């Protein structure tokens, strides 16, 4: 909203109004606003949650210090959602399809998470929203995202063609400016694949045997993959949210990395220099991600050990969904196993624990476990490591994975 106001003032030659035309300025402003909102208003929200007695109910897992968390305000994800949406609505260009899609994602998964927390807190049902309803909601969001990227005129990639032997062919490496070339924005199911020299992969190749229909069926594969990614990453963030500051700090690290990737992918100069896919209109997503980073860091002020508030499913499902959809939009979804390695390992630890327990119970009559407890962070708690040390070490691993993700832009 402020963007359009200052754009109008700039047309009237009001001094300083042109600052809002700079992506860097608006991103910095978004970080500051989201930090202030989450830290200043966060305290008021925590007080409100305490007065309404909206507290965490702790199950007996035999973990050290777990009963100290009893009654800690939950549903703090509302702080994160507010701190993301307000700066985005104020300083981002709301005509941008990608920004609208991220706002929809935030509200959609925030609503699902809020409903889950509401059932747990007010209905006194520890199971919360049934899993099948969560999945339906995640599938619905996946369809919205996939179909928007299919149908929107802004959801394109820019290809460069240069003249060779009297015809124009696609440029796969740096542009030779001495030769005639043309640029064209096209709809495509191409994405980025890490550690490969020509690092573009087209989902249509998977159904290449269908000839002229390959591109159409490639979109179907893409939409299905979008649904799987959103479901997996949002659930991964939900599972990771088990220790004070773990999911929040990990998400902030991932957010910084995605912001960098969005910036270079949406900047024609950096995209050409790094020889990566140039995505028009994605630069505006940096403003949204700046709000995301500020919101998570600001929330960490209250969520770090010992936590004064928990985000609940309201926050964890939203954070995971935002990360998944953002990565899909900037065509970096195949980097998720690296970038979101913490979420992946946490997910796999639960799957492995449950599968092995069922297998050994069927084979030996008594279930056996791979870990002392799943998810993985509880395994280390059972092993006697202090909660703060576990969280810090997970953050360090998250930083290493983030660096590795950025390095994939050049290591091929």
User: Six-digit token pair at 255?
Assistant: 């957010």
Residue from 239, 195, 199, 261 nearest 402 by CA: 261
Q: Which residues contact 7 (CB under 8 A, 6 or more apart)?
A: 17, 20, 21
Please give the Cα distance from 276 to 281 (Å, whole number): 15
278 bridge partner residues: 158
Contact 247, 319 (CB under 8 A): yes
Tokens 């007080």 locate to 47
Tokens 């919101």 locate to 295
CB atoms within 10 A of CB 250: 30
Please give the Cα distance from 333 to 326 (Å, whole number): 9
Contact 288, 281 (CB under 8 A): no
Tens of pLDDT along the chain (412 residues) come to 787 887 778 788 888 788 888 899 999 999 999 999 999 998 899 888 888 777 666 565 556 656 566 778 888 999 999 999 999 999 999 999 999 999 999 999 999 999 999 998 888 787 788 888 999 999 999 999 999 999 999 999 987 766 665 555 565 555 555 555 667 778 888 899 888 877 788 888 888 777 777 878 888 999 999 999 999 999 999 999 989 999 999 999 999 999 999 999 999 889 888 888 899 999 999 999 999 999 999 999 999 988 899 999 999 999 999 999 999 999 999 999 999 999 999 999 999 999 999 999 998 888 999 999 989 999 999 998 999 999 999 999 999 999 999 999 888 7
Q: Report if pTM > 0.85.
A: yes
| Helix segments in 336-386, DSSP class H | 336-339, 341-364, 376-382
163 bridge partner residues: 168
Contact 57, 82 (CB under 8 A): no
- Please report, to the nearest 10 degrees, the dihedral formed by the alpha carbons of residues 299, 305, 309, 315 taken in order: 50
């Amino acid at each position: 909203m402020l963007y359009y106001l200052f754009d109008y003032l700039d047309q009237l030659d009001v001094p300083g109004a042109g600052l809002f035309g700079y992506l860097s300025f608006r991103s910095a402003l978004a970080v500051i606003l989201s930090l202030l909102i989450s830290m200043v208003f966060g305290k008021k929200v925590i007080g409100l949650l305490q007065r309404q007695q909206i507290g965490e109910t702790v199950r007996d897992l035999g973990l050290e210090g777990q009963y100290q968390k009893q009654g800690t305000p939950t549903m703090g994800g509302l702080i994160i959602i507010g701190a993301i949406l307000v700066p985005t609505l104020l300083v981002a260009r709301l005509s941008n399809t990608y920004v609208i899609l991220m706002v929809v994602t935030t509200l959609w998964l925030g609503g699902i998470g809020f409903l889950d927390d509401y059932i747990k807190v007010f209905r006194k049902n520890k199971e919360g929203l049934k899993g099948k309803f969560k999945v339906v909601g995640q599938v619905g969001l996946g369809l919205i995202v996939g179909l928007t990227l299919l149908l929107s005129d802004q959801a394109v990639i820019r290809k460069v063609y240069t003249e060779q032997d009297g015809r124009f062919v696609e440029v796969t490496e740096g542009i030779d400016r001495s030769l005639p070339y043309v640029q064209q924005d096209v709809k495509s199911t191409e994405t980025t694949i890490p550690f490969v020299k020509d690092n573009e992969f087209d989902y249509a190749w998977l159904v290449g045997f269908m000839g002229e229909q390959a591109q159409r069926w490639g979109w179907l594969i893409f939409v299905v993959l979008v649904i799987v990614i959103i479901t997996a990453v949002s659930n991964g963030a939900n599972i990771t949210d088990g220790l004070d500051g773990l999911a929040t700090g990990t998400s902030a690290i991932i957010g910084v990395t995605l912001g960098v990737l969005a910036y270079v992918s949406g900047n024609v100069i950096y995209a050409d220099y790094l020889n990566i896919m140039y995505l028009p209109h994605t630069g505006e997503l940096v403003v949204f991600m700046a709000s995301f980073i500020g919101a998570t860091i600001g929330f960490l002020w209250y969520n770090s050990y010992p936590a004064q508030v928990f985000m609940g499913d309201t926050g964890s499902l939203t954070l995971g969904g935002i990360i998944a959809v953002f990565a899909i939009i900037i065509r970096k979804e195949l980097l998720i196993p690296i970038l979101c390695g913490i979420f992946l390992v946490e997910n796999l630890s639960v799957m492995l624990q449950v599968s092995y327990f069922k297998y050994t119970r069927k084979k030996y009559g008594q279930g056996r476990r791979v870990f002392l407890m799943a998810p993985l962070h509880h395994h280390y708690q059972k092993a006697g490591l202090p909660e703060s040390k576990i969280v810090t070490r997970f953050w360090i691993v998250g930083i290493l994975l983030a660096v590795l993700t950025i390095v994939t832009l050049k290591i091929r």
